[in-house]
Every structure is written in structure tokens, then in C-alpha cells.
Structure 1
Amino acid sequence: MSQPSDFLFGTQVRKSPFFDATVRWGVEVFSIYNHMYLPRSFGDPVANFWNLVDHAILCDVGAERQVEVSGPDAARFMQLLTPRNLAKMRPGQCKYILLTDEQGGVLNDPILLKLAEDRFWISLSDSDILLWAKGVAVHSGLNVTLDEPDASPLQLQGPKSLAVMQSLFGDAFDDLAHFHHREAELQGIPLIVSRTGWSKEFGFELFLLDSTRGDELWELVMAAGLPHGLKPGHTSTIRRIEGALLSYRADADSRTNPYELNLGRLVDLDMEADFIGKAALRRIKEEGATRRQVGLVIDGEPLSGANTEYWAVTRDGTDIGTDIGTVTSAIHSPRLKQNIALALLAADEAERRAQVQVEMPDGKRSAEVTDLPFYDPGNERSA
């Protein structure tokens, strides 16, 4: 495993306000996300998974940048960007949304926070939406301002996260509903706290509103959390595949559409607003998506880690396979004791629920097509 002294850093990739703290607490691997360093390992990913599902982890996700949309026409502009109907969204709410292009392709699958009637934050997965939004705004004729605010989230996730929050804030967030947010201060540090997170576990996100105080916030949370088993961690690939959470660029991009991803519920073709991609998405729905995301349970020995390339899926029982789709994300789940994967298959093959083969670097393995998610006992979908 690489040690921090082996990292080669440059000014062209930004550091989050929590960067120094993560190095001090033992980060071993970074990846690049939204042109920023994102901590990806503090050691054993299986230990990280169990820390998440049994106790709590603290993750630097400052790379999940915010695009702020404000101004008199902010609500109209946000509805232009997304096929999800926002008419009933109120300040203090969060929603999982899709941003689509003119072909109906998915450009991003962010969390939207409504801070006021005329102010929103788009909390991004990995793509340059500020540039896209600025291009749309130039030609929209709407009175909006687009900017990147000084806001950097920490994810506090896991069943003990409420106990950690109580140590920090008393009972101030006991009643915060799933996919809601409110303002807070912690020893003078300005925050927005939301009941969200990329883990499928109970948890919170703490949006730091003063980037000069990142080190201080990290240490305060860790000190409060250590008695509850809190450890520094990273977003768990195991847990997110169990819960069928998308990883943008891995499982979705502009060449995939909401219907392929089983996210038609986030598209309202009947609303009056003429959002970007509406005509294309109507056509896709009428004609039927040609692909569909499904789960695969892959036979054989436990995978040694996540896939780093796409794997072809072919019909089982043929010497020369016919490609019917692609594995986009795969991992071994120690809880389920199975190799599990997200895959995009041809729609008719997805319906067949037949055995398939996965073309892996070490050879072919049989796999069973399954429904998603693999594990979600609370059935708490993204709101």
C-alpha cells in the first residue's frame, strides 16, 4: 500500500479542507474526483465495510462539490435542468435527482438541497456540471446566478452516527428527517447538516461553510465519535453495490438514460415544464429502453477487489459468447458471502433471468441475473 510520502501532489488538483486531517489519520490511497483528491482507503476495505455497518465512519467527501443556483428564476432554472418534478419541494428538503442532456442521457445524479425559495445547491457526483449549467443559463433568458460556494461535506455514516451527533449537538438533530437539512454551528463553525449520505446506512452529511476550519471540524467529530467506535473511512464500494447505489462514470454516464437505470420514477413527463431531454425521454419510454440495469451473482472464488475495467456478459452455455451486456461494478460482499455486480444487459436478456457468463481477466465465470438491490433491509430508497 502506498504511504503518504509516496503521493505526488500538484496545484492543478485541489485539496479539500479536510485533506491534512485525513493524511494525519492514516489515509493510504487517493483518487481524483471532480478535480480534487478524494481519500479512497484507510487500509482494509473489508474492515471499513464492517466499521460502516456496525459502528460509524467519517469520510472526507469534500470533492462532492456544490453548484449554487440563486436568483429570482432559480426554481424555474432548476426545473429546466432535471426531469424530476420539483414543484412541491420546500426549503429544508433534499431530493435525489438526475440531470439530463438533450438526448435524455444522464449527466449527473446529485442530491439537490433547497436552501430558500430562490436558492439551491446541487451536490455533485463526478462531472463538470457548473460548466454545463453556465452554458444552459447563457441561453435560458432566466435571471439566475451560478457559483461554487465555500461548502465542503463530511459524511458521518453508520448506525452509531446519531450517537456521535448527540455527543456534538445534544438532541438538536434527533428529529431531522431523512432527506432534510438545517443550519447549525459547532463551536462557532458554520454548518449545514443533512440526513443524507452515499452509503445506504443511517447517517448525516456536515457541510462545512468555512474552509479555513476543516481541520478543526474533523478533529471535533473524531473526538466525539471515538467512544462510539467511529473510525476514519471512505465510501464503501461493498455497501454501495449491495444497495445498488450508482457510481457516476462507472454505472452511468451520458450514454445511459433513467429508464435503463430503473429510475423512471425520477422523470415526470406529464409536468408542464419543458426540461432538457423531455422529448427524448418521452420517446425512450414509448419505445422501451433497450438495456436495463440488473444485479449479477457471480460464481467462484471471492473477488480480490473491485473491478477496474468493464467485463463483457455473454449467454451461458455457448463456446463463442454473444455479448448481451456489461458488468459495470463488481465486488465480493463478506456479509452476503457472494460476488455481486451491477450490470447493464440487453432488455430482453434482463427479463429472461437466465444464467449468463462474465468474461473476466482470469477467464469465464457463470453468473445468475437477480433483482436489485442485493441488500436493503430498511427499504429506504433515495428520497
Structure 2
Amino acid sequence: MDDLQCDGLTKRFGNFTAVNDVSFAVPSGSFFSILGPSGCGKTTLMRMIAGFENPSKGDIKIKGNSVLATPPNKRNVKMVFQHLALFPMMNVGENIAYGLRCRGEPKADIAHKVAAVLERIGLPGVEEKEVAQLSGGQKQRIAIARCMVLEPDVLLLDEPLGALDLKLRERMKIELKLLQHQFDTTFLYITHDQSEALVMSDNVAVMNAGRFEQIGTPQELYHSPASGFVAGFVGDTNRWKGRVVSIADGAAKVQTAAGEIVAAASGEDVAEGVEVDVFVRPEAIELGVPENGNSLRGKVDSLLFNGANSRILVRIADGELIEVNYPVMDGGGGLSAGDDVEIGWARERGRCFAAAR
């Protein structure tokens, strides 16, 4: 059974449509992310699911039952906000117990449930600690525990890692995924950070201007984007603008400012004479030219050291900077800024989409 189902959800604010005819389903026990840039409508969508906004059109079902007429406090969904919203005047135990007390549960049951959920999140015995004594990662887990102790059908997470520093954010991505598996609860996560969505999610919906561009696994979104927006938004990529010269066997020959490039033609609207965007991942480009591959010449602009994910920036004839993955194992690999290089990639590793109008 799907824990959450949205059918044709639309939200208008006057003449502005924030969410436009969105439909999707989230299977029980899965981690589903909504990924998109700021202002695309993802927070409005989540607020409708939580009950804080009423949709202009469409339906929301939890466990198969419509909740449109159900107020927020009666829906069995809970929400973790970006700034966590822990009560500073309460200790850890009181924060977690708050919802249980509002339900009127017996004190003995509350104490047992609080202790049990703290054990599950790896913070046993911290009931008496003040919120101010907690680290950023501990506060994150307490905010989740405060929701999970209420046993929601769906946990909504609104960019909860946005306020954390980079190192802690990387660690919390792993912890959130582990917690989701441990509680076996459906997580609906919204973010503008592609890394968060790709690392944690079973499925991701890419949202743009109020609509879903594509829903799929992280692997599908990365390797088989359904639109130019998805190709450019999910993962790092190089992009060329050009016009299709010819098409044969599903491949388009595209004239760009950098020269002719052959790439897989994606979508029925890619045709001879059409303006397109060509996308090639940095890891698809190598020093040298593969057999029957695309080829460009340029100069090394700079070397960006990042361990195994080091990259070369190559400036080609038209002035464009091309990112090339280059694991630097010996502190430079013999290359220096200003060196002439030839780069290339297999034709099938690039994709072209009709340019957005």
C-alpha cells in the first residue's frame, strides 16, 4: 500500500500557480525526496500534505483515505522543520514527550516511550539534558525522535540539514537514511541539494516551476534524465548550446561554438534545425580521444584538487571552461596550467534536449 498519494494537486495564490497539477505516490516504508530550486513550489506542496495549506484542486490520501477535511493536528503525519523548532525552555525528555502529553497518555507510558525512542536514535539517557547542551547533530536526532515517538504514517522533512555545517551535513545524510530504515517509516524529504536527494532516497521527484519534471530512482535521474532541466540540475555537467545539423540512428550531430558534437537525441522534439542543449558529465570526458568519439582541443586552465574527485578545467577555443574528472594520484599527474590537451568522450555519453523556450 502507498502511505501517501497525491492526485492532481494544485495551489493558486491569486493569479500565481505555486503547484500545478502534481500527482505521485509514496510506497510504504520508502524514502521519497522532492528536489528542486528555491521557489519551485516544493514547500507549498509539503504544507498542503501537512494540512497547513488547502489545495485549490486535487486530493491527498494517507493510507488510502482522503485527508482534505482533516485538520493538521488530526492527520497522522509529522513534520521536521529546517530550524528544528525544539522548545528551549524544555529539556530533551520534555521535548520528546510534548506530543504524548498533548494526547493525554499516562506518565508511565510516556517515560517508557521517551526512553525507548532515545535508545533507537543512539542517545540513551539524555532525558535531563538541556537543548542548549546538544550538538547540531544531536538536536537533529531529537527533532526526529519527537516526531517518531508519535508513530506517524509519514514523516515530512523540510530541508532539515540546511542550517548545519558541511561536515555535519554529510554525516547526517547517512544518519537520516539509517534512521529511516531503523524506524521503517515513510519519509518525504524536500531539498534543493541534489547530493542529499541522491544519497538518501529510494525515489526522487525533480520539481520545476510548480510541476514534476521526472520521478525516478537516483540512478535513473542521473543517467537517464527526461528533460534538459533534469540533466542540468541533477549532478554536475558540461553544457553546449547548438543547432542540430542531422540525425541518424538516434544520434544528433550538433553544430556548437566549440565545433561539431554528436550526442544521443533525447525526446521527439529533437529534429534537424532545432536549437538544443548538449549535456556531458565531467566523468564521461577523458584526456585523449576514444575511438569514434567526440574530440576538442584546449589548454589546461587550472587543476582543482579534491582527492579522488579532482578535476581539470580546460578552456577550449570558444572560451568555454570544460570540467574533466581527473583523479590526481601523484600531486599533479604531470599537468600544469597552460598545457595543451586534447579531450574526448564517447558519443553515447552525451545527451541533447531541445532548448527551453
TM-score normalised by structure 2 residue count: 0.25
Asked which structure has the greater RCO (Cα within 8 Å, sep 6+), the reply is: 1
Q: Which one has the bigger strand percentage?
A: 2
TM-score normalised by structure 1 residue count: 0.24
